[in-house]
Structure 1
């Protein structure tokens, strides 16, 4: 199993504003490097399938397994014969304003290991995605 978690604090941005960004999948490419397009087969809710088209790989299909308005969501992607990837996104309001945003990824499966180069690239991608999300939120609210 491999897991990684990264948290940032975004001042003057509420969980409501972050949730609006999460649910507006048409704008994910603005804050998620490498994504070209995201499509949902229904509402942003548990059971909905999300298809993500990337710059440099085949589209991935994920299932939203949990979604709680203004608090966060979890999605799961199965890579047959390789791994199951669970992405957990949590929002926590800060006393006096602002929001803590936590993105956590857990991978488990028969071929999951922790080669330094692969995990370095993935952890950097997760950090960069959060940094870009914070910047987009601060620019547009």
Structure 2
């Protein structure tokens, strides 16, 4: 297995961060740079979604973990590899939330493929969290992401 993660703290409550995360994975673009998500059913464990990263082909993923407002995870399987994307939200005191965005690559070739593929996939994690936090702040002040 190969893994990487990026954490950052936002000056916003976990519920607002969760609402922005739910919106994104339900198809609401948080910015013009956001990946595109299309949910194929309810926002719930077991539901598939189509994910189209900027400038790339669409792939299917399945929601595998969902504990509001703490954890969201989806899994993608292709070419004998499993990619698990997990967002973990942790309160960091009044009005603050730590979000950890983790990528795990597993499978027979993960130790060989992960060191090259993983950084290519996760290079935008800091920007992705910034977009999520901006949307959460909008959510907290206006009630809409």
TM-score tier by shorter-chain length is: 0.7 to 0.9
Distance 1:120 1:45 in 2: 28
Residue 96 of structure 1 deviates from its aligned partner by: 2.4
> What is aligned with 2:5?
5
> What is aligned with 2:98?
100
5+ residue gaps in structure 2? 141-145
> What is aligned with 2:49?
50
> What is aligned with 2:143?
none
Kept after mapping to 2: 8 A contact 1:103/1:126? yes
TM-score calculated relative to the size of structure 1: 0.83
Could you say what secondary structure the match of 1:55 adopts? coil
TM-score calculated relative to the size of structure 2: 0.81
Q: Counterparts in 2 of 1:56-75, with a 5 A limit?
A: 56-75=55-74
Residue 115 of structure 1 deviates from its aligned partner by: 7.0
After superposition, the Cα gap between the structure-2 partners of 1:110 and 1:138, relative to the gap in structure 1 and judged at 3 Å, is same
5+ residue gaps in structure 1? none
Residue 131 of structure 1 deviates from its aligned partner by: 2.0
Could you say what secondary structure the match of 2:4 adopts? strand
After superposition, the Cα gap between the structure-2 partners of 1:69 and 1:99, relative to the gap in structure 1 and judged at 3 Å, is same
Residue 132 of structure 1 deviates from its aligned partner by: 2.0
> What is aligned with 1:129?
128
After superposition, the Cα gap between the structure-2 partners of 1:85 and 1:45, relative to the gap in structure 1 and judged at 3 Å, is same
1:110 aligns with 2:108: yes
Could you say what secondary structure the match of 2:128 adopts? helix
C-alpha RMSD over aligned residues = 2.2
Kept after mapping to 2: 8 A contact 1:21/1:28? no
Kept after mapping to 2: 8 A contact 1:22/1:28? no
Distance 1:62 1:115 in 2: 18
Residue 139 of structure 1 deviates from its aligned partner by: 4.0
Distance 1:121 1:54 in 2: 12
Residue 140 of structure 1 deviates from its aligned partner by: 4.2
Could you say what secondary structure the match of 2:28 adopts? helix
